[in-house]
Amino acid sequence: MASTRTAATSRTLRRICLAAAGASGVIFAWQATILYWRIPGYLMPSPASVLHAVFTNWQVLASQSSYTLGAAAIGLTISTAFAVVLALLFSMSRTLEQASMPAVIAFRSAPVAAVAPIIMLFFGRGIATSIAVVTIVSFFPMLVNVSRGLNSADRNAVELMHVYGASRWQQLRLVRIPFALPYLFTGLRIAATSSILGAMLSEWITGSRGLGFLILESGEMREIELLWAAVLTSIVVSLTVFWLTSAGERRALRWKI
């Protein structure tokens, strides 16, 4: 037990050190680019000035980030629920999957930037539009990954369940769903980061609160440091969501190790 905890701690420290080294490399390249190309501050401010803007405007950034995260979380939850239910129905009926998948693909193929104004006509400029856009953006990767996971169950295990006369629900609960969990988390990693982008895109179009609106507003007001601070905050938020999803996957799938 002690050796396992030590190994887990060492892996965590290694990830932290690698992340810190990567961040340091990005900051160094950022500063070197400014110095080498002599880029003026009104186009690309220095890392120091952007970090100063982050600490100076942390309350605004935190408030707008929480709004964007709230819309992304609700939309992602709705899309995950719909995707899991639909994937389960597809796994039970091949005919239903063949009949429904073209419509799902056609719906997903519509540009979100074109669909968002239409959604705004129905839901207004509030958070409901952001939630709807996030749901649309994150639904398809969840559906594809969960469906693939349910169909990836080991054939020997499925045949064994048939031999013992297991019902379709028992096959799902005992075989197909456990095999689908890694695919579910893969879809979550993709959809979670996309949900942040979807929420920000909705905020750009509707002009509602959030990081997207803050980026748009600071750009129009020529507050360049705040603009870059908001962009940096959105990147950190997306990376944090990705890391949290990966950590949740490792914890939930510990039984497979």
> Which residues contact residue 125 at a Cβ distance below 8 angstroms, ignoring those fewer than 6 apart?
206, 207, 208
Q: What is the pLDDT of residues 32-71, one digit of tens each?
A: 999 999 999 888 999 999 999 999 999 999 999 999 999 9
CA–CA separation, 228 and 213 (whole Å): 13
Say which residue the tokens 């080498």 belong to: 36
Confidence label for 1 from pLDDT (cuts 50, 70 and 90): low
pLDDT at 5 over 70: no
- CATH number of this structure's domain 58-256, picked from the four choices 3.40.50.300, 3.10.560.10, 2.60.40.2890, 1.10.3720.10: 1.10.3720.10
Higher pLDDT, 170 or 141: 141
Q: Which tokens is 69 given?
A: 């995260």
**Residue 160: what pLDDT?**
77
Residues 219, 65 contacting (CB under 8 angstroms): no
What's the pLDDT at 255? 60
pLDDT tens for 168-220 read 778 888 888 888 999 999 999 999 989 999 999 999 888 888 999 999 999 98
Average pLDDT, integer, range 118-137: 90
Q: What is the pLDDT of residue 8?
A: 63
Domain boundaries, the chain: 58-256
Question: What confidence score (pLDDT) does residue 109 get?
Answer: 81
Give the span between the Cα atoms of 152 and 185, in whole angstroms.
15
Q: What is the pLDDT of residue 110?
A: 80
How far is 197 from 134, CA to CA, in rounded Å?
A: 8
Give percent of the chain with pLDDT exceeding 90: 51
Q: Report the chain's mean pLDDT, rounded to a whole number.
A: 88
Category of 222 on φ-ψ map: left (φ > 0), alpha (ψ -120 to 50) or beta: left
Least confident of 7-11, 42-46, 85-89: 7-11
For residue 75, the tally of other CB atoms under 10 A from its CB is: 26
Distance CA 177, CA 230 (A): 39
